[in-house]
Amino acid sequence: MSSLKTREVGNIGVITLARANKRNALDDATIREIDDYFSNVSSHIRVIVMTAEGDHFCAGLDLKEHHDQERSALDFWRVCRAWHRAFDKIQHGGIPVIACLQGAVVGGGLELASAAHIRVADVSTYFSLPEGTRGIFTGGGATVRTARILSADRIIEMMLTGRVMGIEEAHRLGLAHYVCNTPENPISAEEYAMTLAERIAQNAYLSNYAIVTSINKIADMSATDGLFAEGLMAAVVQTGHDVQSRLNDFVTKRAPKVKPGEDTTKQGS
């Protein structure tokens, strides 16, 4: 039985974790399905929204499978490398990915959410890295991806204490970009994510590709190499077929202006 559901809404792909009875814990089979999905995205898909069934986005590593398999060091190394491959395809696949979060986003669930480019969270969302309390260590990219979002210092503190980070702190620290289902933003996280996806799908394809593939890669480079790569990327994006018409919209005063107070989910609609 599949642990994922997928659908398309126009040019938006929606991938849903569908093991709510196990709080969407990630077993080997689910990681394989995530890898397969992100390896075979249809060419008309412009943005992917990742959601989860039930009250919790993801409870992390399937601890029962991990317990039952009594993995050796080499076994678990292979598991971790499979997670890295799958999550790399999310982060570096060239298509913007929006994660839509609720309830527990813990351990490997936080690593999965950290691979997405935008995180939209229901107000019920909370985050934790309980690996220390389970006697294991992060193996799905937290030391790289989550550490880049929160800082290495903060994930050390979270892993040592196993504490729960609430939505207000997570929003302030940039782990959740948007918080939904609040008096100020009463829309549901999924609706908000879909509206953002529609907005992002209207960007130039090459611009989106450059944004999601190059910025994280450039962060791995020296400043000199990064500036060189940035120039190359900009030159490639400049060859996009719709660059001139988009610039012409601005020059002829038909393009929307960049103004404070504008809701980005409404721009261009």
Choose the catalytic residue: 33, 65, 111, 230.
111
- And the tokens for 38? 């992100």
Candidates 3, 138, 181, 214; binder of ligand 1HE (CB under 6 A) is 138
Which of 3, 18, 23, 51 touches ligand 1HE (CB under 6 A)? 23
The Cβ of residue 239 has, within 10 Å, a number of other Cβ atoms equal to 8
Is 96 a binding residue for ligand 1HE by CB under 6 A? The answer is no
Residue nearest to ligand 1HE according to CB distances in the complex: 107
Q: CA-to-CA distance for 148 and 169, rounded, in angstroms?
A: 16
* Of 134, 154, 177, 199, the one binding ligand 1HE by CB under 6 A: 134
Query: What does the buried/exposed string (b/e) look like for 182-194 if buried means 16 or more CB atoms within 10 Å of the residue's CB?
Result: eeeeebebbebbb
Q: Has 53 been annotated as catalytic? A: no
Binding region for ligand 1HE (CB under 6 A) out of 94-102, 138-146, 189-197, 221-229: 138-146
**Strand arrangement of the beta sheet that strand 164-165 belongs to:** 104-106, 126-128, 164-165
Q: Which of 4, 12, 17, 25 contacts ligand 1HE by CB under 6 A? A: 25
Q: What is d(CA 148, CA 207) in angstroms, rounded to the nearest whole number?
A: 23
Closest distance to ligand 1HE from the beta carbon of 222 (Å) = 30
Which sign, positive or negative, has the C-alpha torsion 198, 204, 209, 210? negative
Regarding beta strands 164-165 and 126-128, do their DSSP bridges make them parallel or antiparallel, or are they unpaired? antiparallel
CA distance 141 to 258: 35
Q: By C-beta, is 134 or 217 nearer to ligand 1HE?
A: 134
C-beta of 62 vs 190, nearer to ligand 1HE: 62
> How many residues belong to the site for ligand 1HE (CB under 6 A)?
23
Catalytically active residues, by annotation: 111, 131
Q: Which residues bind ligand 1HE (CB under 6 A)?
A: 22-23, 25, 56, 59-64, 80, 83, 104, 106-108, 130-131, 134, 136, 138-140
